[in-house]
Amino acid sequence: MEVKVQWAGGAAFVGNAGGHKVIMDGPVEGGGRGLGARPMEILLLGMGGCTNYDVVSILKKARQKVTGCSVDITAERADAVPAVFTKIHIHFVVSGIGLTEKQVERAINLSAEKYCSASIMLGKTAKISHTFELIEAATS
């Protein structure tokens, strides 16, 4: 895996991952101009994508009729430098037809404990918690 990050002036940077560009910028109070997400937010986005992918994949492999999955992530950071994440909470909203709490909870736990490299890595400094809600999808 290889990525490239180039300084774009001020506190802005352009990342290139597999030909896809990502704009990052620091906070306005730190010289940023609000041009993009902050690098630590991108870490959370990566974790969200990783665990969301896992949950959907696990449910599909179990032949469950999952129709949607989103995650809302909140995090706290240490007050001292380095300001690592100390607490991360992931809330899943999973929709499907006939899904059960047991199936979704199992998928979330497998992602957290076995498959999501990003969550497992961030869990070295942060206490990660999970909640979820199920939404029964309409059948047509």
DSSP-derived 3-state class of residue 107: helix
For the cut 70, the answer to whether the pLDDT of residue 85 exceeds it is yes
For the cut 80, the answer to whether the pLDDT of residue 140 exceeds it is no
Reported as type and span, the H/E element at residue 104 is helix 101-110
The tokens describing 131, both together, are: 């909640």
Asked if domains 1-37 and 39-136 share a fold, the reply is no
| Amino acid 58: pLDDT | 98
H-only helix segments in the chain:
39-61, 101-110, 117-122
- Domain 39-136 in this protein, CATH class: alpha beta
The dotted CATH code for 1-37 is 2.20.25
| Amino acid 30: pLDDT | 84
Mean pLDDT, all residues of the chain: 96
Percent of the chain with pLDDT over 70: 99
pTM for this one? 0.92
Q: Where are the domains of the chain?
A: 1-37, 39-136
